[in-house]
């Protein structure tokens, strides 16, 4: 499987996650979101970029519980709660945001 | 309740037996299974350590694994008890907690 | 699962030669979702998992040593390192990753997760566990 962005095809797995993490760019993220009928706003990008930084530092996508806590610490309690994160990413902040961030599915996510 | 420790690697291949003996608390039991049974033999470079460990731990070995490997019970360190599969089950039930040194 | 149990993961093998170290870490991270009382012990060659300065670029495989730093976020903050294994390998705690966690009971003060214990001390700790998993 793959996703075409600006004339280039990016390989994805059967669930739409990017096969090669180093190929990611924001346009790929936006294109993946479009396929889910989701228009990415500043608030979405805040979480996506946070996930990419977390992955860069720890080499894993955090579990939702860990993500929520860490977002709260970095961006404040009004954003560090599941209600806010699920409103942004109704398919689950772990699964959905990680996909747009070009990361693998969070460890332990089924 | 004391813990049952199982060792399934030959002491000459892996450090499972050595580590288990160092880290099993007093009063616990150790059961040799699979290639672990070689560790229960007399006259090896581990038998002195094992004899010392027998002062505060109880040792068992799984008979079918011994038999399969051609190790007669007479070649075991004195005091190590041979159990069959039913005995293995009894040990796990009796101890409640099991730690497998794989 | 309603009651909280004591889970201990024994890490006994070096990181890249076999898949045990990474598998153990994944199981720990997945298991953390169940909110049990989790501790880790590094014994024998397992000590090598925590060495500072790992760089797998030339192997072309993932360097998962930074992931140990995430354990604090997952509320895994009891990390025992056996003194005898350190000594046998000519290492000290200064050679290991400085793993920390934030103590929620003390205004999120940063504390060391690694505790160097003797074999005798670790034997007692293992004996108190409900579940022991060896990797």
- Closest partner CB to C62 (pick from A59, A66, A108): A59
Query: For chain C, what is the mean pLDDT?
Result: 95
Q: What backbone torsions phi and psi does residue A36 show, to the nearest 5 degrees?
A: -95, 15
C16 touches chain A (CB under 8 A): no
pLDDT of residue A54: 96
Instruction: Report the CATH number at residue C38.
Output: 3.40.1260.10
**A40-46, long-range: CB within 8 Å, 24+ apart, which pairs?**
A40/A100, A43/A79, A43/A88, A44/A88, A44/A89, A44/A97, A44/A100, A46/A75, A46/A79
Domain residue spans of chain B: 3-83
Which tokens is C48 given? 């090598």
Number of domains in chain A: 1
Task: Please say if the pLDDT value at position B22 is more than 80.
Answer: yes
Instruction: Report the CATH number at residue A86.
Output: 1.10.10.370
The verdict on a CB contact (< 8 Å) between A62 and C70 is yes
CB A62 within 8 A of CB A85: no
- Span A93-105, average pLDDT: 93
Q: Of the segments A19-23, C2-6, C46-50, which one has the largest average pLDDT value?
A: C46-50
Q: Which of C19, C27, C25, C10 is nearest to C80 (CA)?
A: C10
Residue of C33, C56, C75, C97 to mutate, interface with A, max A Cβ within 10 Å:
C33
pLDDT of residue A79: 95
- Span C66-85, average pLDDT: 97
pLDDT of residue C35: 87
The verdict on a CB contact (< 8 Å) between C126 and B97 is no
Q: pLDDT tens digits, residue range A62-87?
A: 998 999 999 999 999 999 999 999 99
List the chains bordering chain B where 3 or more Cβ pairs fall under 8 Å.
C
Chain mean position to CA B32: 3
Across A39-48, C4-13, C81-90, C102-111, least confident range = C102-111
Considering the segment(s) B3-83 as one domain, its CATH architecture is: 3-Layer(aba) Sandwich (3.40)
The residue assigned the tokens 């604090």 is C72
Query: What are the chain C neighbours of B19 within 8 Å (beta carbons)?
Result: 12, 43-44
User: DSSP state, A106?
Assistant: P
Residue A32's pLDDT band (boundaries 50, 70, 90)? very high
Task: Please say if the pLDDT value at position B1 is more than 90.
Answer: no
CB B33 within 8 A of CB B4: no
> Whole domain around residue A34: which residue ranges?
2-100
- Closest partner CB to B99 (pick from C45, C132, C135): C132
Count, in order, helices (H) and strands (E) of chain A: 5, 2
A109 catalytic residue (yes or no): yes
Task: Please say if the pLDDT value at position B57 is more than 60.
Answer: yes
Q: Which of B12, C34, C10 is nearest to A108 (CA)?
A: C34
Q: How many CB atoms lie within 10 A of CB C38?
A: 22
Task: Please say if the pLDDT value at position C15 is more than 70.
Answer: yes
User: DSSP state, B21?
Assistant: H
- Whether A105 is in a domain gets the answer no
pLDDT of residue A109: 61
Number of domains in chain C: 1
List the chains bordering chain C where 3 or more Cβ pairs fall under 8 Å.
A, B
Tell me the ipTM for this assembly. Answer: 0.88
- Whether A107 is in a domain gets the answer no
pLDDT of residue C113: 97
Cα–Cα distances in angstroms (integers) from residue C36 to residues B71, C27, C39, C75, in the given order: 43, 13, 10, 10
Residue of C17, C127, C135 to mutate, interface with B, max B Cβ within 10 Å:
C127
Q: How many CB atoms lie within 10 A of CB C25?
A: 24
pLDDT of residue C2: 63
- Whether C85 is in a domain gets the answer yes
The verdict on a CB contact (< 8 Å) between A69 and C70 is no
Give me the catalytic one of A1, A19, A21, A109. Answer: A109
Which tokens is C47 given? 């000590």
> Whole domain around residue C30: which residue ranges?
6-134
Distance separating the N- and C-terminal Cα atoms of chain C: 23
- Whether C1 is in a domain gets the answer no
Chains C and A touch each other (3 or more Cβ pairs < 8 A):
yes
């Amino acid at each position: 499987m793959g996703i075409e962005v600006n004339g280039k095809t990016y390989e994805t797995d059967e669930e739409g996650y990017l096969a090669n993490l180093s190929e990611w760019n924001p346009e790929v993220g936006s294109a993946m979101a479009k396929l889910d009928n989701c228009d990415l706003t500043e608030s979405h990008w805040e979480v996506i970029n946070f996930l990419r930084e977390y992955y860069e530092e720890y080499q894993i996508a955090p579990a939702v519980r860990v993500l929520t806590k860490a977002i709260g610490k970095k961006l404040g309690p009004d954003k560090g709660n599941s209600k806010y994160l699920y409103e942004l990413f109704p398919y689950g902040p772990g699964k959905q945001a990680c996909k747009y961030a070009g990361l693998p599915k969070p460890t332990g996510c089924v | 309740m004391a813990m049952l420790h199982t060792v399934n690697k030959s002491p000459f291949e892996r450090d499972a037996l050595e580590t288990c003996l160092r880290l099993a608390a007093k009063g616990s039991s150790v059961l040799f299974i699979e290639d672990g049974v070689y560790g229960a033999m007399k006259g090896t470079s581990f038998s002195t350590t094992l004899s010392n460990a027998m002062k505060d731990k109880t040792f068992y070995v799984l008979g079918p694994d011994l038999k399969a490997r051609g190790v007669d019970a007479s070649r075991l360190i004195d005091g190590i008890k041979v159990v069959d599969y039913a005995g293995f089950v009894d040990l796990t039930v009796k101890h409640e907690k099991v730690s497998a040194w794989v | 699962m309603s009651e909280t149990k004591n889970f201990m993961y024994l890490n006994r093998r070096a990181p890249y030669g076999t898949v045990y170290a990474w598998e153990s870490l994944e199981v720990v991270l997945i298991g953390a979702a169940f909110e049990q009382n989790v501790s880790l012990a590094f014994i024998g060659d397992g000590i090598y998992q925590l060495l500072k300065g790992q760089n797998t670029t030339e192997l072309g495989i993932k360097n998962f040593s930074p992931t140990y730093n995430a354990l604090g976020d997952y509320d895994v903050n009891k990390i025992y390192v056996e003194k005898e294994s350190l000594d046998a390998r000519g290492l000290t705690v200064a050679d290991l990753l400085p793993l920390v966690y934030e103590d929620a009971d003390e205004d999120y003060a940063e504390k060391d997760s690694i505790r160097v214990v003797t074999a005798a001390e670790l034997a007692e700790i293992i004996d108190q566990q409900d579940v022991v998993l060896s990797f």
